[in-house]
């Protein structure tokens, strides 16, 4: 069995090798075409690019991976964690590729609806749902996972006040520990998410809560995101499966009929290869938790980063180059505004950088150690520090790779830096590259409006009544 797993894994590595080369090739051609077509240049000094072919491939890989390990006829909903890339055209593209939506705020739900994702393919998971959000979700028939006992009280009231088609469940925290990044570890002892299963009396409370509510038919856990090792992810899934079995045994029927295993597959940001793969993860789960795949349970998954990270690139023009203290520095237009996590926590969130010349062609040749800096006014605004790259020159481009999730769609408005345009790219059918605007670049007028421009004298005219 172990050998079989190892063999399958090696095959995955090989397929991902050629897939990786093709993806890098598509990206290089897109950067070149973006410069040639003027999407990128002196007046558009930073853009986000999304590889439409790559997004389709990753959606297909996810579906195929779980199809290969589930009993025929098992209902499987892959719900894209919208927070990873909250862009309506991306959610629409994934929806057309057979992927639903996992949402965690009124904004994300509205994006999913704008993208045309039907309620039956949407899951709501936030830890702070208001009464109005819950009411709307149940009126629409969207699946809801209650985060805590107080939220379950609210669901009790709603379920008794009006009939709903929403599949309802509870999120649990298996408390099996964290990974290498604290901020994305959700199954720690004191995590804010879900019902902490190992706290005294909690497990028995969950079983009683299901026994008292025949409409609780789902069970949910999401063990974490980047930095969680695969065996720990698999353990989280095993824990939630064991609890479902315990609940069903206690109530004497198959009340829990669907298990939501969350997302969290880590992304390799060290090289171009996709590793781990969905196929490898699905096979690991099938080996570790076989009962989950024998057809008795429907499945929901909630992958975000692994669907999108490798399909996106931030490309920024090198405005100036300089040296300081013997260190070479390329000052670019991509920094904290498009890569907040990397800039503030470079150890936890490193990014690969690719160097392109002024025509958008990959730069080759001897490498020099240099910093790739952003435009913001604090010294830590670096995309990469002390990185060996072909020397970047004024007018060249630096690309931050694997940024299709949790980067350029998570703009951080430091220094009132405008949100860059985001463009999807695909082959144009005649050997070139076609682009489509996913999000227009923010104008400076919009920056002013967003910053209270319509209320310029709001504070100077505000007086306490007695001083008027
Ligand atoms: C963030 C999140 C996900 C997606 O995690 P990825 O690491 O992007 O796959 C899925 N489910 C829940 C509940 C989340 O909070």
Please report the domains of the chain, with CATH numbers, ordered by start residue. Answer: 70-303 (3.20.20.10), 310-453 (2.40.37.10)
User: Token pair for residue 203?
Assistant: 């497990």
Residue 422: beta bridge partners? 48, 439
CA of 254 to the centre of ligand 1 (A): 27
Gyration radius from the chain CA atoms: 24
CA of 429 to the centre of ligand 1 (A): 35
Check: CB of residue 313 under 8 Å from CB of residue 47: no
CA distance 446 to 85: 22
CA angle (338 as vertex; 414, 313 as ends), nearest 5:
165
CA of 173 to the centre of ligand 1 (A): 14
| Residue-level pLDDT at 16 | 64
CA of 302 to the centre of ligand 1 (A): 6
Ligand 1: nearest atom to the Cα of 406:
8
Q: Whose CA is nearest to atom 1 of ligand 1?
A: 81
Check: CB of residue 383 under 8 Å from CB of residue 331: no
3-state secondary structure the chain: CHHHHHHHHHHHHHHHHHHHHHHHHHHHHHHHHHHHCCCCECCECEEEEEEHHHHHHHHHHHHHHHHCCCCCCCCEEEEEEHHHCCCHHHHHHHHHCCCEEEECCHHHHHHHHHCCCCHHHEEECCCCCCHHHHHHHHHHCCEEEECCHHHHHHHHHHHHHCCCCCCEEEEEECCCCCCCCHHHECCCCCCCCCEECCCCCHHHHHHHHHHHCCCEEEEECCCECCCCCHHHHHHHHHHHHHHHHHHHHHHCCCCCCEEECCCCCCCCCCCCCCCCCHHHHHHHHHHHCHHHHCCCCEEEECCCHHHHHHHEEEEEEEEEEEEECCEEEEEECCCCCCCHHHHHCCCCCCCCEEEECCCCCECCCCCEEEEEECCCCCCCCEEEEEEEECCCCCCCEEEECCCCCCCCCCCCCHHHCCCCEEEEEEECCCCCEEEEEEECCCCHHHHHHHCCHHHCCCCCCCCCHHHC
Q: How many CB atoms lie within 10 A of CB 372?
A: 26
| Residue-level pLDDT at 467 | 57
CA of 186 to the centre of ligand 1 (A): 10
Best of 62, 81, 306 to mutate for ligand 1, by most ligand atoms within 8 A of CB?
Answer: 81
Best of 84, 186, 301, 349 to mutate for ligand 1, by most ligand atoms within 8 A of CB?
Answer: 84
Best of 264, 310, 402, 404 to mutate for ligand 1, by most ligand atoms within 8 A of CB?
Answer: 264
Check: CB of residue 336 under 8 Å from CB of residue 414: yes
Judged by phi (left if over 0) then psi (alpha if -120 to 50, else beta), residue 51 lies in: beta
Q: Which residue reads 């160097």 in tokens?
A: 355
CA distance 55 to 93: 8
CA of 262 to the centre of ligand 1 (A): 6
Ligand 1: nearest atom to the Cα of 306:
9
Check: CB of residue 144 under 8 Å from CB of residue 103: no
Q: Alpha-carbon dihedral of residues 247, 250, 253, 255, nearest 10 degrees?
A: -30
| Residue-level pLDDT at 8 | 45
Q: Alpha-carbon dihedral of residues 440, 425, 115, 125, nearest 10 degrees?
A: -100
Q: Which residue reads 């719900």 in tokens?
A: 79
User: Token pair for residue 48?
Assistant: 């986000």
| Residue-level pLDDT at 6 | 41
**Which residues make Cβ contacts (< 8 Å) with residue 167, sequence separation at least 6?**
143, 144, 217, 218, 258
CA of 368 to the centre of ligand 1 (A): 37
| Residue-level pLDDT at 12 | 54
Best of 62, 83, 180 to mutate for ligand 1, by most ligand atoms within 8 A of CB?
Answer: 83
Residue ranges of the chain whose pLDDT lies below 50: 1-8, 10, 13
CA of 239 to the centre of ligand 1 (A): 18
Best of 171, 195, 225, 341 to mutate for ligand 1, by most ligand atoms within 8 A of CB?
Answer: 225
pLDDT in tens, 314-350: 999 999 999 999 999 999 999 999 999 999 999 999 9
| Residue-level pLDDT at 29 | 98
CA of 51 to the centre of ligand 1 (A): 21
Q: Whose CA is nearest to atom 15 of ligand 1?
A: 222
| Residue-level pLDDT at 15 | 61
Ligand 1 shell residues, CB under 6 Å:
81, 83-84, 102, 125, 222, 225, 262-265, 302-306
pLDDT in tens, 207-260: 999 999 999 999 999 988 888 899 999 999 999 999 999 999 999 999 999 999
CA distance 139 to 121: 15
């Amino acid at each position: 069995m172990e050998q079989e797993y190892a063999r399958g894994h090696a095959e995955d590595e090989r397929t991902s090798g050629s897939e990786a080369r093709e993806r890098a090739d598509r990206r290089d051609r897109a950067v070149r075409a973006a410069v040639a077509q003027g999407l990128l240049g002196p007046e558009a000094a930073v853009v986000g690019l999304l590889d439409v072919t790559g997004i389709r491939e990753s959606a297909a890989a996810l579906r195929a991976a779980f199809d290969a390990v589930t009993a025929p006829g098992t209902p499987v909903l892959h719900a894209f964690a919208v927070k990873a890339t909250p862009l309506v055209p991306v959610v629409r593209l994934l929806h057309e590729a057979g992927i639903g939506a996992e949402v965690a705020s009124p904004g994300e739900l509205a994006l999913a609806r704008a993208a045309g994702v039907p309620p039956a393919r949407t899951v709501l998971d936030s830890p702070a749902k208001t009464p109005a959000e819950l009411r709307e979700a149940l009126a629409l028939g969207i699946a809801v996972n209650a985060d805590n006992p107080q939220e379950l009280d609210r669901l009790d009231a709603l379920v008794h006040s009006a009939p709903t088609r929403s599949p309802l469940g509870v999120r649990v925290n298996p408390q099996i520990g964290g990974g290498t990044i604290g901020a994305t570890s959700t199954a720690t002892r004191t995590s804010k998410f879900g019902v902490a299963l190992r706290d005294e009396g909690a497990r028995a409370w969950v079983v009683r809560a299901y026994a008292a509510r025949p409409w609780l038919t789902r069970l949910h856990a999401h063990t974490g995101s980047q930095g969680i090792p695969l065996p720990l992810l698999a353990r989280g899934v095993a824990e939630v499966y064991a609890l479902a079995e315990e609940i069903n045994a206690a109530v004497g029927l198959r009340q829990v009929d669907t298990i939501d295993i969350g997302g969290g597959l880590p992304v390799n940001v060290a090289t171009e290869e996709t590793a781990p793969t969905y196929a490898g993860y699905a096979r690991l789960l099938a080996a570790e938790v076989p009962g989950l795949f024998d057809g008795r349970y429907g499945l929901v998954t909630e992958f975000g980063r692994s669907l999108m990270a490798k399909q996106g690139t931030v490309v920024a023009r090198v405005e100036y180059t300089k040296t300081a203290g013997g260190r070479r520095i390329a000052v670019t237009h991509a920094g904290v505004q498009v890569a907040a996590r990397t800039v503030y926590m470079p150890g936890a969130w490193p990014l690969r950088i690719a160097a392109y010349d002024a025509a958008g062609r990959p730069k080759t040749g001897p490498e020099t150690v240099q910093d790739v800096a952003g435009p913001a006014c604090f010294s830590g605004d670096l995309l990469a520090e002390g990185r060996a790259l072909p020397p970047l020159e004024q007018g060249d481009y630096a690309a931050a790779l694997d940024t299709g999730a949790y980067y350029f769609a998570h703009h951080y408005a430091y220094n009132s830096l405008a949100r860059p345009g985001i463009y999807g790219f695909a082959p144009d059918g005649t050997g070139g590259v076609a682009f489509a605007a996913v999000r227009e670049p923010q104008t400076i007028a919009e920056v002013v409006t967003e910053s209270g421009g319509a209320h310029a004298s709001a504070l100077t005219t505000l007086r306490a009544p007695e001083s008027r």
